[in-house]
Structure 1
Amino acid sequence: MTFAFTLPTTSPVNFTTSFASSSAPSLPSATTTRRALLRDTLKRYKRLTTAEQYNNLPSLLSSISEYLPYLYTVDAYITSQDIAPLAEFETEWRAVLSRRTVSTELPRIRRKGLDYEICFATATLAYVHALRARSFLATAIQAPPPTDSNATNTSVHLINQAKDQILTAASIFLYLQNRSTTRERGGSQPAPADTTTSIYNALWSLCMASATLLAVLKDDPYPSIVALQHDKNSREWMYKAPTVPTKVRSLLLARLCMYSADMAGRAAAGVAATPGSGAELKSYCDDMAKTAKAKACRFLGVDAEAQGKVGEAIGWVSAGKEVLGMVVGGDGDKGKLGRGLDILKKAREEKKMEKVPMEALLGPDAGRLEEAMVLNELERRWRKINDSVNFHTVPSTSSLLTTLPTGRPMFPENQIWTPPKLSSSELLQLQTQSPNGGELDWAGADDSGDDIIAQPESSMPPGGFPRSQSTGYY
């Protein structure tokens, strides 16, 4: 339920050749050192296997959190004219959201101006928070079946941590969106897609959609992960269904899902409107919008079935399948029920998602296949009941889709991240140190090997919902 961002790498930069400060002489040198440490951490991260990358996220978060206060202090000193420019500042980052120029590697783009450095470094912090959200969610999904309230609370706590991480990422993207509309960037070359206002707005919308779905996940009576956590030949979970929510609660969950669908749709439109943006992010946003809307249909179907309206319940799950693109041509119900799901499974197999360890098994479709499996099983069960007992008329999907409720936000949309600055004691130390200040000379660090990537035990496609082959339940 969170996009699997690729973290960028960057070339060495020496702030002392571009900036000098009389009030804090060692600030450029200290900033150079912290940036070099971050650069080295990013390079090491890229060479790790998938499982090792998850374990390395706290270290990476620490490195970037140490660098950003220095970077933003330099920016503030330039604004207040406490730093004098010596030469034009240039920096180079790998654009991870831009369209690939070749099939094997993302482009590396050099631009002038400190704002370019700030945008990439700060966005990297948001990417790390999003990846940590995926890590927490994966841990919650892998947990064994809860045997008591403590086990259940542990899983809920992990999902809450994932939600908090993705909300932090959303606040960072909102800050970058606001900053990009008020700051002029140096140089005459166009900005890469990664640093445009439209892409920041899209990423903020996507994070809000993800956070809302994570909140729904805690209360979802038919979690889509069940379909793959249980034995693929077993349908026992469908006959021992979780407690059905009340009508009011079902409507609330449906409205939250519709909000998520709306935000994901906005994100997809924003990515599509950004020149030079990659296709993977756009595809993921589209999949999340479909998944969230299909979930809303499922909640309304579950509520209808609880009220004895089996025909309407079948109509809602059929509408959800139609939203997911599952309803395809065929002879009778068999074609509609089976072939659409087979198409989604085949698409997953083509992306080499089968037999992948849990640490790397993060689907690229925002849980679309899992939701399709749940809808398919619910429809099978309810049609069997309706055909043998109730004989209710099934309304058309088109008539039901027009009655979907409006979306309802769950989290504030104006939470903006505050850039960190050095403390008074840290500034005082920089003011009393010599320009080198005993810092190591990282500016001339070797730039070779940035593109060397260790062969992981499996690929990690972007985005989606973790899957497990265990029988665990979050």
Structure 2
Amino acid sequence: MTFAFPLPTTSQVNFTPSFSSSSAPSLPSATTTRRALLRDTLKRYKRLTPTEQYNNLPSLLSSISEYLPYLYTLDAYITSQDITPLVEFETEWRAVLSRRIVPTELPRIRRKGLDYEICFATATLAYLHTLRARTFLMSAIQAPPPSDSNTTSTSIHLINQAKDQILTAASIFLYLRNISTTRERGDSQPMPADVTTSMYNALWSLCLASATLLAVLKDDPYPSIVALQHDKNSKEWMYKAPTVPTRNRSLLLARLCMYSADMAGKAAAGVAATPGSGAELKAYCEDMAKTAKAKACRFLGVDAEAQGKLGEAIGWVLAGKEVLGMVVGGEGDKGKLGRGLDILKKAREERKMERAPMEALLGPDAGKLEEAMVLNELERRWKRINDSVNFQTVQSTSSLLAMLPTGRPVFPENQTWTPPKLSSSELSQLQTQAPNGGDLDWVGVDDSDDDMSPPEGSMPPGGFPRSQSTGYY
């Protein structure tokens, strides 16, 4: 439910030759120092194993949280003319969301202007919040089965933390979208896809879609198919069905899923409309849109089954499978249905074997396979009952899909991030300190392509969590 953004890396930059301030003479050099520490942390992060990368996220968040107040204060001083630009500032970042022409890593792209630095550094903070959300999700799905209320509360708390991280990322992307449409970049060269208005808008939409699905995840009345996948003998949930929500609750969850599907669809369209954007992010957005729409079909099917409309319930399950792209047919086409699911499983398992054990908990298709397996099990159960007891006619998927409700948002869409600034006491120190000239030899001058490709088994581009336990979400 969260995309695993690759983190960008950057070259060394010195602010002191480009900016001079009489009111805060040491601000450019202090900003240079904090940026060098962030660059070094990003560089080290790329060389870690996937498990070590997850454990290193708090350190990265600390580094960028220390750097951004200096960067935004420097920008504010330029706007208020308390800092004088000396020479045109240039910075270089690796564009991780741009199209990959060759299998090797994308080159770092150099552009002029402080806005370029602000956009990349701030977007990196948003990427980190989404990666933190993934760590909370993994902790939630690795929790033991909810034998008591305390265990259940722990899982819900972790999912809430993941949701909060995603909402923070959404507010950052919204802020970047707003400033990218109103601020002059001062450079006629085309910008990489990572720092365009259309990409920021797409990422904002994707984060809202992800957060909405996490809100639905807490109230999903059925155990995750994760348990079924990792424990073939654990099918108790198919015989002892969980408490089905009331009619109004099912319709609400379906509408939330439809909102998530709409936002994920907008994200996919935004990524596709961004020149030079990569294919992985677009595919993930499309998969999330399908997953969310299929979930809406499932909730409507659960509601229909609770009312005794088993034929309609089966129709909704088949409609969900159709949305996911599975082959749907009549009773004589069970082999085709099974093969359609096997293809999804095989593709997922092939990708899983290429990754580290921790990454095996995450799927790269926004939960499409897991939802397909849930729908498949519900179809088998309901068809068995219908064929032996009810004998109701299964409604056509086309008529049911035309009845899907409109989406409903659950989170505010206009909540923007507030850039951090230095406190008055910190500014007072900068106003009295003499500049150090930006001498950063102690950081290290290795400025080659030092951010080598991540080790084998690195993070997949997003995904839905999978559990090795038989626990519920």
Q: TM-score, normalised by structure 2?
A: 0.96
Tell me the alpha carbon deviations over residues 327-381 of structure 1, each in whole angstroms, 9 at most, x when there is no partner.
2579823134312211211222343457851345321100000000000000011
Report what 1:16 is aligned to: 16
Q: Provide the residue aligned with 2:392 in structure 1.
A: 392
> In 1, Cα distance between the equivalents of 2:454 and 2:185?
35
Deviation (angstroms), 1:452: 2.4
The whole-number CA distance in structure 2 between the counterparts of 1:459 and 1:55 is 14
Q: Runs of 5+ in structure 2 lacking a partner?
A: none
Q: For the structure 1 residues 361 and 311, does the alpha-carbon distance in structure 2 shift closer, same or farther, using more than 3 Å as the test?
A: same
Kept in 2, the 8 Å contact 1:70–1:421? The answer is yes
Structure 1 letter corresponding to 2:470 = T
Further displaced range: 187-196 or 280-289: 187-196
Alignment CA distance shift 1:354-1:82 (3 Å): closer
* Deviation sequence 1:184-224 (CA, Å, 0-9, x none): 11222101000000000000000000000000000001243
How far residue 400 of structure 1 moved from its aligned partner, in angstroms, is 0.1
Aligned match of 2:183: 183
Deviation at 1:430, TM superposition (A): 0.2
- For structure 1, the residue ranges without an aligned partner over 5 or more in a row are none
Corresponding residue for 1:308?
308
Q: For residue 71 of structure 1, what is the amino acid of its counterpart?
A: L
Structure 2: distance between partners of 1:7 and 1:360: 20
Take 1:223 and 1:8, find their aligned partners in 2: how far apart are those partners? 37
More displaced stretch, 6-15 vs 141-150: 141-150
Checking the alignment, whether the CA contact within 8 Å between 2:327 and 2:337 is kept in structure 1 is: yes
Note the C-alpha offset of 1:453: 4.1
The alpha-carbon deviation at position 79 of structure 1 amounts to 0.6
Per-residue deviation at 1:436?
1.1
What's the offset of the Cα at 1:102? Answer: 1.5
Distance 1:459 1:23 in 2: 46
Q: Output the CA distance in 2 between the equivalents of 1:466 and 1:126.
A: 20
Aligned: 1:120 with 2:123: no
| Matched letter for residue 463 of structure 2 | G
Change (3 A) 1:341 1:454: closer
Match of 2:347 in 1: 347
Task: Work out whether 1:428 is the aligned partner of 2:428.
Answer: yes
Inter-partner Cα distance in structure 2 for 1:459 and 1:57: 14
- 1:7-40 CA-to-partner distances (Å, cap 9, x unmatched) read 0000000000111111100000000000000000
Any residues of structure 2 matched to 1:50-449 within 5 Å, and which? 50-228=50-228, 230-327=230-327, 332-353=332-353, 356-436=356-436, 441=441, 445-448=445-448
SS of 2:16's partner is helix
Distance 2:309 2:465 in 1: 33
- Distance in structure 1 (CA, Å) of the matches to 2:92 and 2:197: 19
Q: Distance in 1 between matches of 2:128 and 2:122?
A: 10
Return the offset for 1:459.
3.4
Alpha carbons 1:2, 1:134 under 8 Å: kept: yes
Mapped partners of 2:227, 2:313: distance in 1: 19
Please state if 1:44 is matched with 2:40.
no
SS at match of 1:16: coil
Q: Give the counterpart letter for 2:119 in structure 1.
A: C
In the alignment of these two chains, the number of paired residues is 473
Alpha carbons 2:29, 2:438 under 8 Å: kept: no
Q: Secondary structure at the match of 2:408?
A: coil
1-structure distance, mates of 2:97, 2:160: 27
Provide closer, same or farther for how the CA distance between residues 303 and 353 of structure 1 changes in structure 2, counting only shifts above 3 A. Answer: farther
Amino acid at match of 1:141: I
Secondary structure of the structure 2 residue equivalent to 1:463:
coil
Q: What TM-score do the two structures reach when normalised by structure 1?
A: 0.96
Q: Secondary structure at the match of 1:351?
A: helix
The whole-number CA distance in structure 1 between the counterparts of 2:288 and 2:353 is 18
How far apart are the structure 2 equivalents of 1:346 and 1:230? 15
- C-alpha change, 1:82 and 1:123, in structure 2 (3 Å) is same
Q: What CA distance in whole angstroms lies between the structure 2 residues aligned with 1:73 and 1:314?
A: 59
1:343 aligned partner, one-letter code: I
Q: In the alignment, which residue of structure 1 is the partner of 2:452?
A: 452
Look up the equivalent residue of 2:142 and give its one-letter code.
Q
- Contact 1:361 1:460 (8 Å CA) reproduced: no
Residues 378-427 of structure 1: CA distance to partner in whole angstroms, max 9, x if unpaired? 00110111111110000000000000000000000010000000111111
Distance 1:77 1:51, change over 3 A: same
Answer yes or no: is the 8 Å Cα contact 1:199–1:274 preserved in 2. yes
What letter is aligned with 2:39?
R
Shift of 1:156: 0.4
1:14 aligned counterpart, secondary structure: coil
CA pair 440-191 structure 1, distance change in 2 beyond 3 A: closer
Preserved CA contact (<8 Å) 1:93 1:109: yes
Identity of aligned residues (%): 87
- Cα distance change on mapping 1:438 and 1:107 into 2, 3 Å: closer
CA RMSD of aligned residues (A): 1.8
Q: Residues of 1 paired with 2:442 and 2:253: CA distance? A: 52
